[in-house]
Amino acid sequence: MAVTGQGLTTAERERLRALERENRELRRANEILKAASAFFARELDPRPPKR
Residue 49: inside a domain, yes or no?
Answer: no
List the domain range (segments joined by +) for residue 19.
Answer: 1-44
Residue 17 confidence (pLDDT):
98
Residue 50, domain member (yes or no): no
pLDDT at 28: 98
Residue 38 lies in a domain: yes
* Whether the model pTM is above 0.85: no
Q: b/e for 22-45, b at 16 or more Cβ within 10 A? A: eeeeeeeeeeeeeeeeeeeeeeee
Structural domain count of the chain: 1
The total of other beta-carbon atoms located within 10 Å of residue 20's CB is 10
Q: What is the mean pLDDT of each run of 10 residues along the chain (51 residues)?
A: 73 97 98 96 82 73
* Within-domain flag for 23: yes
Q: What is the pLDDT of residue 23?
A: 98
Q: What pLDDT is attached to residue 51?
A: 73
